[in-house]
Chain A
Amino acid sequence: MDNLFQEIIFWSLFAVVVAGALLVVGQRDMFRSALALIVTFLGVAGIFAQMNAEFLAVAQVLIYVGAVSVLVIFAVMFTKDLAHAPRSTNLQPVVIVAVGLLFIALCWAIFQSQWNEMPSNVPPYLENVFVDSTAQLGSAIIGDYVMAFEAVGVLLLAAVIGALALVRDK
């Protein structure tokens, strides 16, 4: 019964994410695309939560839904009067074929590969990691990945300085 519940949750989130993504690329109206993007981000946050990545799920909601989507909606509203073009470029048939081939190739690679899957009953020390994944993720970021952490801090500083340089008066 527990497994059935997990299956229902997964397939519902799958449907939400795929429907949201199709609406993002299929809508002509930019504002509706931005709203469908929010739905997709929330669905992906649910997928993360189901995979024992709770910190990442909350970070996804805070950063993507809370900041990135709001910025996108601001940009759409600033440029709304100028958007009169049709939806797709002239390359659309070529792109459909190419992306379709890529999709088939990736699916074939996924089903052909021998993944070293973790057994369903995980060993006890791993079970603790997945139950308390936020604390372990914190240890990993500050421990093994401290260089990447510092580099991302410098990147954010550069982004803020760049944004200020874009908007300052001469």
Chain B
Amino acid sequence: MLERYLILSVILFCIGLYGALSRRNIIAVLICTELMLNGVNVALVAFSRYTTPAFMRLTPVDTSDAAKVLDGQAFAVFVVVVAAAEVALGLALIIALVRSRNTTDITEINLMRN
């Protein structure tokens, strides 16, 4: 079961990577970065759900430690929050940049100033 979710994560990541590297519109690059982050989140949650954590394999387990199984989900929550903050500010910067250069084509935005 784990392999299916990992394959889904890899497909999302690779499609996002392809889009981020080969699209010309600057907002499309940001969108494809979001796809990559979603792929990583799927992998994190799949690992937390379908693998046995090391602390359970190596030592006898106290049942109060059971919440540590959800490490991957906690990590994914933080990834979602950071991605949301990044997109908000990134889009503000992109709109300011596009307004000043009058183009959304990343191959034309190749100097640090006009």
Contacts and interface: CB of A to CB of B under 8 A. Distances in A.
Interface of A is mostly: helix
Contacts of A99: 14, 17-18, 21
B74 A52 contact: no
B101 to A, nearest CB: 9
B77 A137 contact: yes
Interface in B1-40: 1-8, 10-19, 21-25, 27-28, 30-32, 34-35, 38
B92 A167 contact: yes
A40 B35 contact: yes
Interface residues of B, number: 76
Contact of B94 (A51, A75, A92, A110): A75
Interface of B is mostly: helix
Nearest to B15: A21
B11 A68 contact: no
Contacts of B48: 53
Interface string A48-65: 100111011001100110
Contact of A30 (B16, B28, B38, B66): B28
Contacts of A149: 78
Contacts of B81: 63, 152, 155-156
A135 B35 CA distance: 28
A136 B63 CA distance: 12
A14 B8 contact: yes
Given A87-B25, A95-B21, 13 more contacts: A18-B15, A25-B35, A37-B31, A56-B41, A56-B77, A71-B91, A79-B94, A82-B98, A82-B102, A87-B24, A117-B50, A133-B73, A148-B78
16 contacts: A48-B41, A53-B76, A55-B77, A56-B73, A64-B34, A72-B87, A78-B98, A82-B98, A87-B23, A89-B23, A110-B6, A111-B3, A126-B69, A137-B70, A143-B67, A149-B78
